[in-house]
Amino acid sequence: MNTLRHCRDIIEKIYQSPPTQFILLLYDLNCTLSKLLTEAYSDASKMHPHSLINFDDVSEDKIQNALQQLPPHSLVILVQSASFRLTNYRLRMDLSRAGHRVIEHARLAHNDESQIQNYINSLQYDTSYYVRACHALEKLLLEHKSIKIESNHHILQINSDFEKPIKNTGDFSESKTGSTGFPIGEIFTEAKDLSAINGAVTVFGFPTTEHKAFFCEPFTVTIKDGCVISHTGPQEFEQILNLIKGDESGKVQIREIGFGLNRALGFEHRLNEPTSFERFCGMHFSLGLKHTMYRHKMNKKIIQKYHIDIFCLVDMILIGETMVFKNGKYVV
């Protein structure tokens, strides 16, 4: 499976961890994938000063104490079948604020046993490609005011300036406290004019309220003035739309425009954990008014509760007049 090699590359190539850096591996063994990653990271950490803690075998006070006593600028690896909760905030963010670097694998148990190899493959070191692709896409997004998406004979057109893109490449060369969830490989933006999205797109998956991806026969989602107005999808999708409408003023807004770059994931190579799968080589959009990175655009008094990604089956993507995606891969 190459699990050890991929985990070693994450430590040595992405985080560029020096031999003297202390590594803490905080893990559980509640699913097959967490067991595989724990074993691999344990082996990969042996050349460093390190410590291993089974989250289920130690009291919360002892875990908190161990975290508080970490040497400055440690590397913490979180291998979680679900998600470790020690405070009201995400543990990864708490550790990052404390000056540590963090490797996070969350909700591993949401993936089927048949998807384990897909997950392991998605960890393969590909940062140089992600950096090049993100640089090219970012430049195009900042220079042009249109995105055209062709999807199963449908056209989705976005005519707007775009927000500064956010990149997830695994390049932490300019960050002392690099921290991310794996798999990686993504760049996303948002239309400055949220009403400037019109047309239709083909969707083949979306998360449920249990935070698991629901994959189905591809269906059409029609968008007008930035909001979903109709679809040909299953009842499960209608339930998600009704949930959003019920809490967010009766509409379903499109916000994030996401370009996934991870070449190990795609229509035929899926993961049931949606935050991981949104990195698949293709495109996704978020439904709902919630978006932490671009929250400044909306009055805080407006209820912003949902951010639910839809996974799209696209044939072609153009930014301005430049073709960036065709035949299942990025061509920039």
Residue 141 phi, psi dihedral angles, 5° rounding: -65, -35
Question: pLDDT class for 323, splitting at 50, 70, 90?
Answer: very high
Per-residue pLDDT, 89: 65
Does residue 12 carry a pLDDT above 90?
Answer: yes
Decide: 261 and 187 in contact? Cβ < 8 Å.
yes
Tens-place pLDDT, residues 217-254: 999 999 999 999 999 999 999 999 999 998 878 899 99
Per-residue pLDDT, 299: 75
Per-residue pLDDT, 85: 82
Per-residue pLDDT, 295: 75
Higher pLDDT, 304 or 205: 205
Please state whether beta strands 101-105 and 179-181 pair in parallel, antiparallel, or not at all (unpaired).
Answer: parallel
Question: pLDDT class for 305, splitting at 50, 70, 90?
Answer: confident
Tens-place pLDDT, residues 26-55: 999 999 999 999 999 999 999 999 999 999
CATH number, domain 3-110, options 1.10.10.10, 1.20.1260.10, 3.30.70.141, 3.40.50.2300: 3.40.50.2300
Per-residue pLDDT, 88: 62
Portions of the chain given CATH number 3.40.50.2300: 3-110
Per DSSP (E only), the strands in the chain are 23-27, 50-54, 75-79, 101-105, 146-151, 154-159, 166-168, 179-181, 186-190, 197-207, 213-224, 227-231, 254-260, 282-287, 308-312, 316-319, 322-326, 329-330
What pTM was computed for the model? 0.95
Per-residue pLDDT, 293: 80
Per-residue pLDDT, 175: 76
Three-state SS across 38-95? HHHHHHHCCCCCEEEEECCCCCHHHHHHHHHCCCCCCEEEEECCCCCCCCCCCHHHHH
In whole angstroms, what is the distance from residue 165 CA to residue 71 CA? 34
Average pLDDT, the chain: 94
Tens-place pLDDT, residues 100-157: 999 999 999 999 999 999 999 999 999 999 999 999 999 999 999 999 999 999 999 9
255: its two tokens:
């916000």
Does residue 87 carry a pLDDT above 80?
Answer: no
Does residue 1 carry a pLDDT above 80?
Answer: no
In whole angstroms, what is the distance from residue 194 CA to residue 308 CA? 16
Per-residue pLDDT, 18: 94
Percent over 90 (pLDDT), the chain: 86
Cis peptide before 19 (omega within 30 of 0): no
